[in-house]
Chain A
Amino acid sequence: MSLINLIRIALKALQRNKLRAFLTMLGIIIGVGSVIAMVAIGQGSKQSIHDQLSNMGTNMITVQPASNLNGGVRIAGSSFQTLTIKDITALKAGAQYITEISPAVTSRGQAINGALNWPTTMSGVSTEYLDIRKLTIRDGIAFTQNDILTSAKVCLIGQTVIDNLFPNGENPIGKVIRFGRLPFQVIGVLSPKGFNAFGQDQDDILIAPYTTVQKRILATIYYSNIYASAANDGVTDAAVTEMTQILRESHRLTANEDNDFTVRTQQELIATLSSTSGLLTVLLTVVAGISLVIGGIGIMNIMYVSVTERTKEIGLRMSIGARGKDILMQFLMEAVIISITGGIIGVFIGFLSTQIVTLTLGWPTIISESSVVLSFVVCAVTGIFFGYYPAQKASRLDPIEALRYE
């Protein structure tokens, strides 16, 4: 029997009982629909975490002073001062995997404009910092190398600080505000970035030349961090190794001494956070997979009933020349058509519900082709697997008994 005839026979048999066929499909529809929707939501949240993190900086690598032993007492890294201009010079000279590098010193303090004030952080950085952290200037200009050389009292201002110091919508550019006791001229306004993945407000910031913060506010020669950009995603690990090597040399550490600094990448953070949401995806997928199996059992159940109910039809088909194989293929085909049609409808429902979730709840979703293909394949396999036993039962009927079955 040709495949076309086989499909024709199976379709006609299903047509005779449309409602039942649909109800049988329902399990598969819900299974596939939920697999696709769940995976889409899981992938979406994973991607959005990834996006938020990489939004914090371009292939960003941070160097921090590490905790260290000082006479047997562990000292917190932040209070440890190891990073200096020497390190920056050494890195600039020796590291080939990093494209941009900036020291950073931070100081917390009160920003004041006339009667208004706001507690904020001032970051002292170099001109490359804006690129590394993906910060853009909405209005005004960035400070220059010259400002760094002269420790100029200029700053860039973040949106949250503007909201609090200039609540009436005045243009802050050119205005002089105070940070602690020191007056700063606002020369640029940063584009808002919103909250980062950890819930910190990235707009609550003032940015000034690092020399200004070091000399005029903190009176220190140390940096609190060094920020760098790896040339691209692929070389981040190489860049970390290289930087570690250079910094060890620059700090004159012997082979058996621990690093007095830590080098961290964006990737590590992404991996940590993604693994959490990855676990969620796995759990959701397992739940959805279980519903697919239940859908398959539904198919088996109905096919068994159908074989018993259509015993006489099977007898007739055999008497007019259907071989056992033809009957087997017919019932198998019916099961597969049910599961695949259910799969198609399920994919459609999955798309639809994903869109609804995105539109109503605003959750980011990504429909991955692999989940569509996978659930589709699982459907076909489910159909064959759960359809086989009933079909085999049908094909082994004795035509004489089947014809006389009442």
Chain B
Amino acid sequence: MSEQLLDTESIEPIEKEPGRFREALHQLKKNKGAIAGLIIIAIFLFIAVFAPVIAPHDPLSQNIELRKSAPFTEGFLLGSDDLGRDLLSRIIYGGRISMIIGVVSVGIALVFGILIGVISGYYGGWLDKIIMRLIDIMLAFPYVLLTIVIVAMLGPSLTNAMIAIGISQIPRYVRMVRASVLAEKEADYVVAERSLGASNFELMFRSILPNCLAPISVQASLGVGEAILSSAALSFLGLGAQPPTPEWGLMIASSREFITSAWWIVTFPGIATLLAVLGFNLFGDGLRDMLDPKLRD
């Protein structure tokens, strides 16, 4: 009897499934935008990690005599700023700061967003109502305004800018995670796992959350780009990094008066910001396509 059972089932071929990494790579190859984004991100990460090795000059050392040198003169590849500091070196070190800002502020937003969103979606009821109304209040403020308000309360500094950006980004993760959890918690496998003795905590964070990761990772990737942009904006307004820190937004702000006389001082940090944000956005969009099962082959 059991022999027969085995026979009928063994007809089904057991093909070797490609690994997850190979499959991800295959999906990635089809998406040119995502590859471009990934390459840009990789370059910026490389520059950020090896900044001291790559930078030709000390980003902080001033040379008043060589101030506002044009690109390719006096040994400055991208020229020098109004205090005679090497622009290229400052942009390279600025990349380091921007990457840290992006990762840390999105990290803050993710941790709290996921925690609050999962709890809100899973338990529902009055707890969910209270959390969602608080989130509504946060969303009622324009994003930049909310960030500025928080920095103004904490005091202007780079660390506080990261915290402010992180907090301002929390609501979108809460809403997204909550929506995913609401959809997933009714799934049969959740009831099945509960029937096998899983606790609420296990169900929330071990069963349901991994099933919600696709939209979260897309949003996180896009969020890094936005965080870099926001920190540049805050520094531009004087609420983020303080001089002489080589931060892109701050560099643009402090040199905008020279835009007619020495265009390079304000242009190159701007291009760097643009490229970094573009990289994360391209990658985020590509990730969304990759994780959408309907667009797979």
Bind each other:
no
